[in-house]
Structure 1
Amino acid sequence: MSNSVQPNITTPIVRDDLGQTLPNVQTGLGPLLGLVGNWNSPQGASSQSGYNVMPLPQDNTPASDNVILRNFHYYEEMTFSAIPGDAANRGGDYQQNCWVLFYEQRVYFGFDAGPAANTLVHAENGDWLHLVNVQQDKGATENPNDPEPLPTGGIPQPMFPIVKQVSVPHGNSILAVGNATTGTGAPQIANANTIPTGQGVTSALKSIYNNGVYDPNNLMLNPNKILQDHIETVNEGDKLIESYIQFDVSSKNGNGDVRNILFEYKKAKVTDFHTTFWLETLKDGTKQLQYSQTIEMTFADNPNVTFYHIDANTLVPVAQDA
């Protein structure tokens, strides 16, 4: 059923308890601090900045090897809230402090989704972590005069200090880890590629992907084009991107993982997850948030094929008095 009334995406979903105002939290969050707040993307049909390519298994479509594509523009709201402290992992000779941003995200079908326009298509929540290894704190029952053991050579820092933990109500849980880097000017956003890979890719399957011929100017094949076009058209004057922080996390890094409920495991198994966020500072002092997310999947009818569910969007902060 269609929704003729657009949802309100200006009210924070996650309650902000002002944890980010504490000096230790500000320091602990490090590069994640700038994400705090409520973000959304344009709702107007002519300005929607999100694009989604979503392959789905469909048994009565043999002409496309029992796969269909649902591609559409979308808009969304995303809220990040800092907790007023950290979560400490004790290791015996040093500890790891997890500085936490809880987040929630809701995504709505855009103008080209037919009767589904303005209805919810996706929701998720979870957290982003900044990991910092430090000397152990003394507990209340510990002798303060006992020497604190330290690893030989000092305390090592995490190889992957940025973590995204995702809970998706399809029955998927994701742990993705990675790093944050900085840059000046606008980020160079690489092309994405939605064309399936693997030994099981048939000509019938390729038929719904431009016959397998890659074209970076085709949104269906390169959803990142919507990010690239936004930078090309908006990146000037007061909206010139002066610097950015880039967050890259993947389930393939470190001890990352993806888990699926049994239905998903058998029918449409998520195998890996990757996302890149670009937190950009503009010349006028405002912020902009861009991201590209890739979910790798296999389907029951196509076990030797990797499918790529990719979406990308540009968001801006919601005014505090909205």
Structure 2
Amino acid sequence: MHAIVIREPGGTDVLEWTEVPDPAPGPGEVLVDVAASAVNRADVMQRRGFYPPPDGAPPYPGLEASGTVAAVGADVTGWRPGDRVCALLAGGGYAERVAVPAGQLLPVPAGVDLVDAAALPEVACTVWSNVFQIARLAEGERFLVHGGGSGIGTMAIQLAKAYGATVACTVGSAAKGERCRGLGADQVINYREDDFVEHGPFDVILDHLGASYLARNIAALNADGRIAILGMQGGAKAELDLLALMAKRGSVSATGLRARPLDQKAAIVSAVREHVWPLLESGRVRPVVDRRIPMAGAAAAHRVMEDGGHVGKIVLTV
């Protein structure tokens, strides 16, 4: 098969579409013929040499994929060749085939295109686990997601709205703001012109900036509020004002998805199938795809990601 290989850490020119050995499904795994994958910030970090895959994961980037089941390994039930699926991966999505733990497979939702389904697993699992399982967003609460036009942001807006929250988001342009309003955002805050703290307090804040936003997130928090951090684009180290946090009885969580144990990932995927998939099949929530790019052109897709002008997901097609 062919896959995108990272020749060495560096810029987009180190991504190479080349022939590699075919994977084989081990016990408890399913082999998927990939139709599409999607680009995530973690892929860019891996390309630069800052985010190596966990032990045992394929060396190729790609944290999600969609396609058709080609074969099943020993001890696998519930899946058979020909099933249309999408999958949460620890790596290997930028390839023509990938072996997936059966617990990380999801059926393609009814009414969703097979290629567009590649844009769902990572964002759906990340948002559900952080916003609903950890931060416990409830109906009637105020929710803020930073980067509303991102893949995470577009999913978080839709899910929070579907579950009855009042939704705010930060964006970097008026055009992105309009797209977010179309997805259900009640309030759009242009971070280039306005301070989100002044629009608080918020019960739950979903943040990908990390260190640079920590103090302001606490300032914007409501009493008993919860901050869920899932990225460090603004740095990894910050001083935590415990007095300010304790005064609000607030909490801060910081999680990743890629390196979680298989049983935890399977539990998250199961919850997403139960709570998110019906919303996709009813049309209340949808994948937001900015553009499709052939997988051999992954370098161009990474440049789009790094330029930051996209809304939603960038999908790579086989």
TM > 0.5 between the two? no
Larger radius of gyration: 1
Range of TM-score over shorter length: under 0.3
User: By percentage of residues, which structure has more helix?
Assistant: 2
User: By percentage of residues, which structure has more strand?
Assistant: 1
Name the TM-score, length of structure 1 as normaliser.
0.24
Name the TM-score, length of structure 2 as normaliser.
0.24
